Amino acid sequence: MRKSRTSNAPQPENSPTYSKRYAATVLSIVSVLLCVLAAVGAILFRDYFSMDNLDRLQAFVAEHWIVGGLLFVAVCIIQVVIALIPGEAVEIAAGVIFGAWGGALLCLIGAILGSILVLLLVRKFGRKFVEALYPREKIDALPILNNPKRRNALIALLFFIPGTPKDLLTYVIGLTDVSIRQYVLLTTVARIPSILMSTVGGDAFGEGKFFKGLVIFGATALVSGAGYLIYLLIQKKSNKK
């Protein structure tokens, strides 16, 4: 009988199996890292997992700030790569534990390192890898791809505006010819206002100033909503062109 040759044949790069295989590999690696991080964090902070022990957690972090800072940066990196955990939640937690400015610094470092990792992964595995994580229509609709002449200005603007899908944008930027150095220069300063809004609110909660924290979060929600509407308008205008 004649044996079929299709079973061992390599999958073409435009096949769903090809892209999903790479996506599954990368996400598996990230999942393992997440589990290791969770295990380490559970061991170190097992006595602090409640708001009643917040003062003890803050004191522990103040005493072991290198370990605490490194673990939190790792959490930020994973948040950027997986892009499922809301970044605002991580930033608020940073403000509660490390204060407004310390938390903002850690979030910024983690966001930069996580974004660099995303860019390297996208450029290693290509567009099909991104399409395995996000629908093709969602990717093609982004103004960064549709307007290369104004790309740098758009990147800086979209990362400055709160409420824009920065993790998705980072994956898509990996498909362009923007260098990693350009990306870091364009987005680092632009991220600061958005991160600070969350960490300042988290810091207020950490100090027991709940009314102040609610006011800050309310203002943050309004600004983020307005920012997302601006993003949709930019996207709609780009699609028309």
Residue 128 confidence (pLDDT): 81
Inter-axis angle of helices 180-206 and 166-173, to 10 degrees? 170
- pLDDT tens for 87-114 read 788 888 888 888 889 999 999 999 999 9
Please name the amino acid found at residue 29.
Answer: I
Q: Are 19 and 129 in contact (CB under 8 A)?
A: yes
Report pTM. 0.71
With left for phi above 0 and alpha for psi between -120 and 50, is residue 99 left, alpha or beta? left
Q: Are 22 and 124 in contact (CB under 8 A)?
A: no
| Span 190-202, average pLDDT | 87
- Higher model confidence: residue 51 or residue 115? 115
For tokens 């810091």, the residue is 203
Q: How far apart are CA 105 and CA 73, in angstroms?
A: 9
* Residue 78, Cβ density class (10 Å: 0-12 exposed, 13-18 middle, ≥19 buried): buried
Q: How sure is the predictor about 2, in pLDDT bands with cuts at 50, 70 and 90?
A: very low
Q: How far apart are CA 169 and CA 159, in angstroms?
A: 9
Residue 29 confidence (pLDDT): 65
Nearest of 200, 24, 20 to residue 96 by alpha carbon: 200
Q: Give percent above pLDDT 70 in the chain.
A: 64
Q: Are 204 and 213 in contact (CB under 8 A)?
A: yes
pLDDT at 15 over 60: no
Q: How far apart are CA 175 and CA 119, in angstroms?
A: 8
Residue 8 confidence (pLDDT): 45
Residue 228 confidence (pLDDT): 67
Q: Are 76 and 68 in contact (CB under 8 A)?
A: no
